[in-house]
Amino acid sequence: MPKAWIQERKKDYYYKKAKEEKYRSRAVYKLFQAVKKYKFIGKGDTVVDLGAAPGGWIQAASKIVGKEGFVLGVDLKPIDTFSRDNIHTIVGNINDEETLEQILKILPEKADVVISDVSPNISGIWEVDHARQIDLAERSLEIALDILRPSGNFFVKVFQGDMLNDFVEKVEKHFRIVKIFKPKASRAKSSEMFVLGLFLKQGS
Ligand SMILES: C[S@@+](CC[C@H](N)C(=O)[O-])C[C@H]1O[C@@H](n2cnc3c(N)ncnc32)[C@H](O)[C@@H]1O
């Protein structure tokens, strides 16, 4: 990691807050802020978190759903275990059918919410990173359509760019309400945004 980037991170408000509050990533605040505004995860929900390592969003989701809820995290990388027994994690590539089969096997019931913060390795070439991010967001949408209950919700990271509109249209086909959201905790200079699909339509 470049030294300047590490120094900048150490000064970052949400980075420090995450350390103090013992969260695994500063990204937790993006999820908390989005849920506070749109209330798309509730107590007792079953949540599937795609691209979940190191586990910040899992911690946030688990706090929101409480003891009656269930959170399943999926990532290419292994995720350190949690003390709560309503959290389960698997190592897998979301592009592999096998990973979807594993998710379906573990879920106690259809999911109420699918959240995806999945990100490719950043190349620094804007068009490449945008296209890769949209690919992963589309795969996250496919998985969501397979595992969500009717009226379930979907929240996914995207990067701004010319493929974003087409992706948003796809989400609009399947969800009754679609919002695009940039949480305060998302760095202003980052092209990251989140697409939220609320209330999966019947027959999707
Ligand atoms: C920004 S991080 C997620 C941070 C997480 N939300 C948190 O709060 O701790 C993105 C993750 O996506 C994962 N990822 C990238 N491509 C993936 C794929 N094809 N399948 C599964 N996970 C993937 C990466 O390994 C990385 O851990």
Mean pLDDT is lowest, of 33-42, 166-175, 182-191, for 182-191
> Ligand 1: does its nearest atom lie under 6 Å from the Cβ of 139?
no
Question: Percent of the chain at pLDDT above 70?
Answer: 95
pTM of the predicted structure, to 2 decimals: 0.95
23 CA to middle of ligand 1, Å?
Answer: 16
**pLDDT per residue over 83-131, tens digit each?**
888 999 999 999 999 999 999 999 989 999 999 999 999 888 888 999 9
Q: Say if domain 27-200 classifies as CATH 3.30.1330.200.
A: no
User: Each residue of 21-63: pLDDT tens digit?
Assistant: 999 999 999 999 999 999 999 999 999 999 999 999 999 999 9
User: Of 43, 157, 173, 189, which is the active-site residue?
Assistant: 157
Going from N- to C-terminal start, the domains of the chain cover: 27-200
Ligand 1 centroid – CA 74 distance (Å): 8
The rounded distance, in Å, linking the Cα atoms of 37 and 198 is 13
What are the angstrom distances between the C-alpha of 32 and each of 35, 38, 53, 89, 138?
A: 5, 10, 17, 20, 23
Site of tokens 């919002």: 179
